[in-house]
Amino acid sequence: MGFLLPALIGAAIGAALGGLVGLLMRTSDKAWAFVSTPGRGIAVGAVAGLVLAVYFATPSGWHEGNVVALTAETFDETIGGDKPVVVDFTRAGCPPCSQLAPRMERLADEFDGRVVVAKVDTTAQPALANRFHIRVVPTIIYFAGGEVVDAAEGALSYGTLQKRVKAILAEHEAAAETAAPDGPSE
């Protein structure tokens, strides 16, 4: 239901504008045949409005859910926490980023409570992109204990993401067990 209302509104606005263009174009030389009648204009406008509404209702195809949006103000505190962190450096309008977004959401759902899955919009947060020398989006950087432990570029498959997160989580849990003091000694 998240983008149903914007889709309906977009289709309605598009249909109205398309119908108006069709009405205005019906007396022209038919150069724009696809909107040369009000009916055609309504159909073309509705489709265009629907597509644009859905696109803008889900920026970069990203479904927020359990994925944390990081800013320069929240970044260091998040990666310095007691859980491993997976950060997707992304950008609106990037097709590979749109492909990766649902995989990151799925990762956030699967590892909820054990790993923080986050994103950084490189357009809105250029200082963070520069700090980590991000030249390609999407770029995934894995953190544990506030330190970079791995990185990868591109729209990775879910299996690749899951495998790497499991490995980092296992390393993190093993390190935590080693660092934990033993029980009372007798």
Residue 54: how many CA atoms within 13 Å on its side-chain side?
Answer: 9
C-alpha dist (Å) from residue 34 to 7, 18, 38, 44, 49: 22, 10, 10, 7, 15
Question: Residue 62: CB partners within 8 Å, gap ≥ 6?
Answer: 90, 97, 98, 101, 105, 119
47 is annotated as an active-site residue: no
Token pair 């959401």 is at which residue? 105
48 is annotated as an active-site residue: no
Pick the catalytic residue from 15, 25, 35, 94: 94
Beta carbons of 169 and 113 less than 8 angstroms apart: no
Pick the catalytic residue from 35, 85, 97, 100: 97
Token pair 């357009």 is at which residue? 123
Round to whole Å and give the CA distance between 100 and 88: 9
Positions marked active-site: 94, 97
